[in-house]
Amino acid sequence: MVNYAFLFPGQGSQQVGMGKDFYDAHPLAREIFEEANDALGIDLASLCFQGPEEELSLTYNTQPAILTVSYIACKLLEKEGVTPAVAAGHSLGEYSALAAAGAMNFREAVTVVRKRGEYMQEAVPVGEGAMAAVMGMEAEQVEEVCRQASSLGVVAPANYNSPEQIVISGQKRAVEHAVEQSQLNGAKKAVMLSVSAPFHSSLMKPVKEKLGADLQKIDFSAPAFPVVANVNAEAVTQGDQIRPSLVNQVSSPVLWEQSMRKMLEMGMDEFLEVGPGKVLSGLLRRIGDGTRAHNVEDCKTLEKALSQIRSQTTG
């Protein structure tokens, strides 16, 4: 029997047009978009399908948009009898995973991630924070570069994405200095990212209180399948584990590589990236040699994944 793991993408995977294919072909997708529109009081479907890109890329729009498309993809797989043994989501994607697992309902999830996006954007004035991706350096080297650059301000690893890629986050001047030092210390590449805030850094601590108050209103259930948490790469199986994990996630680094290794240790054979883009599939290939990942983001990729799944179960 094949054990499937679902991976839910985070911010950066959005693109204008996402979800339209599902919306046109599946009544279930239309129902979910209508529920999101109603919950948020905006036309999220139109924003996903037509943009403009600048509007879709605003954090408080991006987060509910990606969650909605990811949730639809998951529900369409579920309708065909494909469910995961375990799931994980990258940052925002952790909410998608928890909604998919029934730990919170979709309406709660889409509403709270919009607020999360607003709080994250408000925490640091635009232009003061920054993030950068460092490629080809060991984690310890990146951590040391950040320690040295921290004399200029806050900077620290934000995403341990793969053995090849670590994203750093903090105050702009310190991040820029860390990028320069990474290049001097042998990084294959170190580039500033086009993001609107220094996510997963200590600068996000003001978000925790506001988000915590919103999460306090949600009655979390035990997830139908384990969800590996970003903050510690451990499997969440009880409802009471969820709230503190999501609150701490905002200002803690995303332990993505460690989370994928945890899932591999749990015996996962196949991975499905459920939602827009192929970012997580690409990272996984660098973490688990030969590990297969399929993405499901539209009708074509859904049918391709289902065809491969059916061939495995009948072969």
127: pLDDT confidence band, cut at 50, 70 and 90?
confident
pLDDT at 84 over 70: yes
Mean pLDDT of the chain: 95
Of 300, 260, 279, 274, the C-alpha closest to 101 is: 274
| pLDDT attached to residue 191 | 96
SS (H, E, C) 180-231: HHHHHCCCCEEEECCCCCCCCCHHHHHHHHHHHHHHHCCCCCCCCCCEECCC
Other CB atoms within a 10 A radius of the CB of residue 47 amount to 21
Residues 6 or more apart whose CB falls under 8 angstroms from that of 33 comprise 19, 23, 44, 45, 48, 68, 72
Residue extents of the structural domains in the chain = 4-123+203-314, 129-195
Arithmetic mean of pLDDT, 180-197: 93
| pLDDT attached to residue 314 | 66
Helical packing angle, 106-123 and 93-100, nearest 10°: 170
Percent of the residues in the chain that have a pLDDT greater than 70, as a whole number: 99
Residues 13, 200, 251, 294: which is the catalytic one? 200
| Spacing of C-alpha 55 from chain mean position | 19
Q: Are 280 and 7 in contact (CB under 8 A)?
A: yes
pLDDT at 313 over 80: no
129-195, superfamily in CATH?
A: Malonyl-CoA ACP transacylase, ACP-binding (3.30.70.250)
Three-class DSSP category at 81: coil
| pLDDT attached to residue 315 | 55
Arithmetic mean of pLDDT, 72-87: 97
Residues 13, 57, 70, 91: which is the catalytic one? 91
pLDDT at 305 over 60: yes
CATH code for residues 4-123+203-314 = 3.40.366.10
Of 159, 109, 114, 97, the C-alpha closest to 134 is: 159
| 91 part of the active site | yes
| 200 part of the active site | yes
Whole-structure pTM value: 0.96
In sequence order, what are the beta bridge partners of 254?
A: 159
Amino acid at 292: R
Q: CA–CA separation, 210 vs 206, rounded Å?
A: 7
Helical packing angle, 299-314 and 59-79, nearest 10°: 40
